[in-house]
Structures are given as C-alpha cells and as structure tokens.
Amino acid sequence: MTIIEIIVIAIGVSMDAFAVAICKGLSIASSKKSQPQMAAQKKHVHFVTIGLYFGLFQAIMPIIGYMLGVRFQLVVENVDHWFAFILLSGIGANMIKEAMQIENESLNDKTDFKTMIGLAIATSIDALAIGVTFAFLRINIFTISIIIGIITFVISVIGVKIGSRVGNKYGKKAEAFGGIVLIIIGIKTLINHLK
C-alpha cells in the first residue's frame, strides 16, 4: 500500500469526525452569539480538544482492529482480498447512507470527557473495521495509525473552524465523499489480487 493510498484512507475514515466537528463548530458559533466573552475564550480550546479526541481515537482503533484481524489471518489468507473489499465497501456504503439521512445532529458546545469520549468512539468505529482490513493486507499498522491520527486531528480542527463560520451544510457531503473513497479503494484492492 502506497503512502498516497494510506493518506486517502485516512481522509476517508476521518470524514465522520469531520462531520461531527462541523456540528460542534456550529454550536460554538451559536454560543458565541449568546455569550460572546465566554465563547471567545473557549473557542481555541474547543478546536484543539475536539481534534485531539478524534485524532487519538482514530489512531487507536485501527490498532485494535488489526490485532483482532491478525488472529483470523491464517484462517482467511486465501480470501483476504475479498474481506478487504467487503469491509471497505460496507463501511463506505454505510457512510454514504448516513450522509443521505436528513437528520440534524443536536448542537452542543460541550467538550467535557463524557461528551467527547462518546463522540470519539462513535466516529472511530469505521477506523476499527479498517484496522481489521489492514491485518489482511500485512502492513505496518503503527505508522498507518499515526498518519490516520494526525490527519484526523487536522481535519477535525478544520471542521470545527468551518462549522463555526459557515454552518453544517458541508458535513454530510464530506461524509459521502469519504464513503465513495473507501469503496474505490476496496474495489482497487480486489482487482489487484485478482490479476
């Protein structure tokens, strides 16, 4: 797997976090209007805190998924490319489906542990499944996890910034784009092994 493919996967799996970060940014903008002094003080803390939670969990989850996948690697070695294709395509299709649902996520500018841990786990489930896929591809999971974590951190900070300025209309589009990217990589993995 090339560095470009790793970066593309990292961007794809970070789109859930990006969509939620936009909503968080939107809620920060709302609280800024009602409590301008408090919101201005909390704004930069929000950006970094949200980015760190999402980035850290997106880095940890692939390692957990990889460890689970390695246990089954010998059993499924001859069909590992099919597993990679099915998992990546399934995750991608689910992201596209979620992006098409017309539901407004509740606006909440809290970044306390209880709030953020739930969001971080929820947005990194895809990364866990990707980690299982990585076990079948036999790659350096720690390097990839660090790349995924850093990219998710940056994308989440950008998402909060976008949400605080323009609102949440781009979150769903980004999530759908991430899903399409994962499906394409799944198809490419399958084609490469079937040649």
pLDDT category at 38 given cuts 50, 70, 90 is: very low
**Cα 36 to the center of its chain, rounded Å:** 31
Express each pLDDT in 70-86 by its tens digit. Answer: 887 666 666 667 777 88
pTM of the predicted model as reported, rounded to 2 decimal places: 0.73
Angle between helices 80-100 and 171-194 (to 10 degrees): 160
> Could you write out the DSSP letters of every residue in 64-79?
HHHHHHHHHHTTTGGG
Residues 23/105, Cβ–Cβ less than 8 Å: yes
Residues 59/124, Cβ–Cβ less than 8 Å: no
Q: What is the pLDDT of residue 109?
A: 61
Express each pLDDT in 155-173 by its tens digit. Answer: 999 988 888 777 555 666 7
Integer Cα distance of 87 and 84 in angstroms: 5
